[in-house]
Amino acid sequence: MSENAPDIASLARHLEALRPSLLRLAQLQLRNAAWAEDAVSETLLAALQGAQRYRGTAQLKTWVVGILKHKVLDQLRHHTREPTLADAGDDDADELETLLYRRDGHFQEMPEPWTDPCGELQREQFFAVLEACMEQLPARQGRVFLMREWLEIDSATICQELGIASTNLWILLHRARLRLRECLQQNWFGDHTS
Amino acid sequence: MKIPNSCRDISGLLLAREDRSLSLGERLAVRVHILTCRACHRFEKQTLVLRGALRQWREHQREEGDPR
Ligand SMILES: [Zn+2]
């Protein structure tokens, strides 16, 4: 019996404990339960196979989330040609623009001052609201937004990976950012006058 | 090309700035507009707060320990 067998067993337990948070991230990015399951299973498998490279619990999540990002991107590539990803319009953004701007292009309402929501005491709560708002984005907007903000892929590369034109990408991202702002204004910044 | 100068144009550029680099003309239009427009000045501050918050969220996902 190899002497690091017990380490593998404990690694497997730690990995299993991470599964829910990995699944939540994968679902947020992929917006498809089956793809998210696949990405997480592949991640856990890869982590077990690469166990020698893992040194100590402190870096476990960092290491595994790094693997997850690659597996999630593989899923996106693999499903790029499916209609759910390539389909153009899943959203009526005009409504949002009318809510925000007058016909002459001025703001309907003065934007409120926002303060940093990531202070010690409130950050967990804020992150929950932020994730809920990201989840509420229409699927295509959510995917490209998370590719930018979670996977940190530049716009040109996203266009290549998804096979879309840059103008389309910018429209999607613009809508996503407007929606997210509105959602956070209503569910966080509007209520928290700190 | 039409010079962007409504609050709708300028806030659109402030959002676009998160995903692409603005042209020199666009950057100038934003700077000039914001000098005199409180609404867009506030909007810009909001985009910066959100940029920072997203960065912290991203880092939080890498950290050890999971909120339950
Ligand atoms: Zn303005």
One domain, residues A105 and A176 = yes
In a domain, A40, yes or no: yes
- Summarised one tens digit per residue, pLDDT across range A148-183 is 999 999 999 999 999 999 999 999 999 999 999 999
Locate the chain A residue with the closest alpha carbon to B21.
A155
Closest chain B residue to the Cα of A115, Cα to Cα: B49
CATH code: domain of residue A127: 1.10.10.10
| Global ipTM | 0.90
Q: How far apart are CA A27 and CA A165, in angstroms?
A: 25
Q: Which residues contact A161 (CB under 8 A, 6 or more apart)?
A: A73, A76, A77, A80, A147, A153
Considering only CB atoms, which chain A residues are within 8 Å of B61? 21, 25, 65, 150
Q: What CATH code is carried by the domain that includes residue A58?
A: 1.10.1740.10
Choose among B7, B16, B57: nearest Cβ to A105.
B7
Ordered DSSP codes for A137-164: S-HHHHHHHHHHHTS---HHHHHHHHT-
* Domain, as residue range, for A71: 2-78
Chain A residues close to B29, C-beta within 8 Å: none
Number of domains in chain A: 2
Indicate the pTM of the whole model: 0.89
Given an 8 Å threshold on Cβ–Cβ distance, is B42 in contact with A58?
no
Whether residue A181 lies inside any domain: the answer is yes
A124-142: average pLDDT:
95
pLDDT in tens, A45-56: 999 988 776 666
Of A78, A103, A128, which residue sits at a domain end?
A: A78
Q: Is A107 helix (H, G, I), strand (E, B) or coil?
A: strand
Burial of A131 (0-12, 13-18, 19+ CB in 10 A): middle
Q: Are residues A19 and A107 in the same domain?
A: no
